[in-house]
Amino acid sequence: MDPVLFFDQVSLDDVPLVGGKGASLGELYRELKPLGVPVPDGFCITAPAYRQVVSGAGIEAEMHDLLNGVDLDDVADLARRGERLRALVADAPVPPAIAAAIADAYTKLSAGCGDLDVAVRSSATAEDLPDASFAGQHESYLHIRGQEALLDAVRRCWASLFTDRAIVYRIHNGFDHMQVSLSVAVQQMVRSDQATSGVMFTLDTDTGFDGVVLVTAAHGLGENVVQGAVSPDEFYVFKHTLGHAPSPVIRRKLGAKEQRMVYAGFGDGLVNEPVPQAERERFCLTDAETVQLARYAVAVESHYSERAGHPVRLDLEWARDGADGPFYIIQARAETVHSRAERTTIRRFHLKGEGKELARGAAVGGGIVSGTARVIRSADDLHQLRSGEILVAEMTDPAWEPVMKTAAGIVTDKGGRTCHAAIVSRELGLTAVVGTGDGTRSIRTGETVTVSAAGGAEGVVLEGKVPFEVEKISLKGLPRPHTRIMMNVGNPDVAFEASFLPNDGVGLARLEFIISNQVRVHPQALLHPEEVADPAVREEIARLTRGYDGPADYFVRKLAEGVGTIGAAFYPKPVIVRLSDFKSNEYAELIGGRDFEPKEENPMLGFRGAARYVSDVYREGFALECRAIRAVREEMGLTNVQVMIPFVRTVAEGLGVLDRMARNGLKRGEHGLTVYLMCEIPANVILAEQFLAHFDGFSIGSNDLTQLTLGVDRDSPLVASVFDERNAAVKMLVSQAIRTARRMERHIGICGQAPSDYPDFAEFLVKEGIESMSLNPDSVLSITRRVVEVEEKLGRGGEGAQAVGR
């Protein structure tokens, strides 16, 4: 057999001949290049050629002896054996016929170019397989020029079959060392040292959500990205709107891109150089370039999936040739982590031991976590919190959220089930116990505690590390009720994971979380930075908005990306986005916010919701929110995203909001835009017919409706015991709202906390005829089962049931 095969001579069927990497390169070149996916040409030195070198050198017996005695616990001995194995292979003479075939292939590849620069990559016969990638186990060499240098690089690739890490990997994965051979792929170099390069995945690498292409990019040759030596830019492109939306880039993250790998000069190899600060502060790909790369990725994925007869998710490498040259796909392999993940089970937590009770309060999250406690007395002390510690505080506010993300769990003295700490903990997927009264006094910094929210409505903080177990619950065969079960999802970071739960979409996506965590700056401060009094704050705003087309573009893009991520996670199911409902004191906590917000005695009943949207004071800020929603629907193509208006006190106020929205390009009914109204003020129920004449439906906000019906400040511990959505007066209003909406054939749902916390309240809603419930993700399964039971008793179980979520 010819020891050298060009890419157009091999395919995915030839793994035994040219290894996983070589076979994939051949498949790409033969099958995808004709379809418009650019792939550099090259050739493979076959695995039989490697075996011929080894057998011809007479070194197999010594190799067997070295490999049979490997002790993984003896690192020094492993290193000695590996070094000897590599030397045996690297020093083995290459038969003249094989050396000549390599030289001839290189001459042919270089035709008309002198000595062509090539990349020389190892390709093992057990590499890039569906259940074992072998990624990074063997060596590759870049910027190789000339026949002598090429042959030397080939020898070093062969020898890398016995890197210490490759030996260990084969043992852990059950591969026979001597049955694995190594081919070498030689490929035209793409001069990305003068441009950009990176890696793409046809799924989200954190969750396995396969509706996106994740594109990473950095300056220079791609080895830095592959090896994790730099923090690249990240882009998420939504597959389902890729073919028709103007810009289906749903999310971007600016990477540090500290250095780039470039040519050091002829014969001097490669070197890393620092990237100028101005380049680091800009994305190294435009949206159009990102979309082009994603199209290539989807084309390759489609071909590989069709060939395999089942979905195949891919890990691809790409590179740009020169500063303004074309993009090339230079490698593709099957993704092996999430492709095998089991997505038909969820987890439930149960304490299996006892401990001294330190504090008790409202449970949030349903989980159990142990860790070291850190008592934080004020925002000035937040820097003391270490990742993985339990945050213990009197209370939290939006300014704390970036730090709260690093905590393993949260305990507060004040607040109830709808306080800031509770809401944020749910959205971050954290375990929390809130409203303990004395947590900051009974818990000491440095002691180990266990926070349990797995016991129902009440949670406890226990002394020490208390054992617990995690129950896995199968989602297979879970019945779907007639009542639509939606979810409250405000944190884009958990949207992909949450989408795997059985659901009918998102009934409440709060803009507040996205604004406080991802935008962080008050919209008026972005529009009018000159009115911000503190020079340090102005500098912070300037720093955050670098790389964007102005401060307003920063707000719109950040907000659109957050909403777009949630919209994509649940597409094509409806995602109802509630426009911002910060109170003035919360807006003031945003960067630059104190220069634009009034000081109110009772912000809960003040300048919030619809009143803010129709005011001239916030007119420009509201316009930015509308621009962001338009970008999601029109540019990203996520028309499943709908809008909900909070805290509308009067019908005239509601009409004013609709008018403002229409002026900003969001006209109810156009392009399928649905506009809902939060039903959370008694006036909304009393005048329901008048309100619903102008909106597409109600979503009951049980938190504020209870507060305003009973005259209870829901954040006040002094009257917390009075706050109960199950109060007869509240239930009477809920029942009236449902009846009116159904009579007027308008949608009626609920997105408040009550059905998530109280199964009996969920039962009440079903009996009253609610169309949908939007629940916290941690209560979806238990409440779904309860709803199914109630519907079966009522004789309408399963009617119109929605399809189970991903």
In sequence order, what DSSP letters do the residues of 592-649 get, joined into one string? TGGGT----S-GGGSS-THHHHHSSTTHHHHHHHHHHHHIIIIIS--TTEEEEE----
DSSP-derived letter for residue 162 is G
Query: 679 an active-site residue?
Result: no
Q: What string of DSSP letters covers 702-766?
A: HHHHHHHHHT--TT-TTSGGG--TTSHHHHHHHHHHHHHHHHTT-EEEE-SSHHHH-HHHHHHHH
The active-site residue, picked from 303, 420, 522, 747, is 420
Q: How many C-beta neighbours within 10 Å does residue 326 have?
A: 11
Structure tokens at 337: 């982590």
DSSP-derived letter for residue 409 is E
CB hemisphere CA count around 327 (13 angstroms): 24
* Vertex 259 angle, CA 253 and 262, to 5°: 125
Give CA 779 to chain center in angstroms.
Answer: 22
List the one residue out of 46, 36, 37, 44 whose CA is nearest residue 7: 44
For the chain (806 residues), the mean pLDDT of every run of 10, in chain order, is 94 93 96 96 96 94 89 80 93 96 96 87 72 65 92 95 82 80 94 93 85 94 77 92 95 89 78 92 94 98 95 93 92 74 71 93 86 91 90 79 81 72 74 90 96 82 94 77 95 87 95 93 95 96 90 96 97 97 94 95 92 95 97 98 98 97 97 96 98 97 94 83 92 97 97 89 95 91 91 72 33
Structure tokens at 21: 């990497």
DSSP-derived letter for residue 73 is T
Query: 284 an active-site residue?
Result: no
How far is the C-alpha of 329 from the C-alpha of 197, rounded, in Å?
Answer: 10
> What is the phi/psi pair of residue 266, to 5°?
-60, 125
How far is the C-alpha of 459 from the C-alpha of 364, rounded, in Å?
Answer: 8
| 761 and 726 Cβ atoms separated by less than 8 Å | yes
Give CA 116 to chain center in angstroms.
Answer: 40
**Host H or E run for residue 460:** strand 458-463
**What residues contact residue 178 under an 8 Å CB cut-off, 6+ apart?**
60, 63, 64, 67
Structure tokens at 154: 């080939």
List the one residue out of 387, 417, 321, 340 whose CA is nearest residue 116: 321
**What residues contact residue 479 under an 8 Å CB cut-off, 6+ apart?**
788, 797, 798, 801
* Bond before 572 cis per omega within 30 degrees: yes
Q: Which residue has the tokens 């087309």?
A: 549
How far is the C-alpha of 133 from the C-alpha of 335, rounded, in Å?
Answer: 8
> What is the phi/psi pair of residue 38, to 5°?
-70, 130
Task: Quote the pLDDT of residue 801.
Answer: 39
Q: Which residue has the tokens 């939007």?
A: 774
| 702 and 753 Cβ atoms separated by less than 8 Å | yes
Structure tokens at 45: 């030195």
Task: Quote the pLDDT of residue 89.
Answer: 94
How far is the C-alpha of 778 from the C-alpha of 662, rounded, in Å?
Answer: 37
* Vertex 259 angle, CA 257 and 263, to 5°: 130
How far is the C-alpha of 498 from the C-alpha of 349, rounded, in Å?
Answer: 18
> What is the phi/psi pair of residue 462, to 5°?
-110, 150
Q: Which of helix, strand or coil describes residue 144?
A: strand
Distances in whole angstroms, Cα of residue 225 to Cα of each of 115, 116, 189, 261: 27, 24, 17, 10
Structure tokens at 7: 């890419």
* Vertex 67 angle, CA 61 and 72, to 5°: 165
368-376 and 390-393 beta bridge pairing: parallel
List the one residue out of 439, 460, 458, 459 whose CA is nearest residue 373: 439
Cα four-point dihedral sign 67, 69, 74, 77: negative
Q: What is the CA radius of gyration of the chain?
A: 30
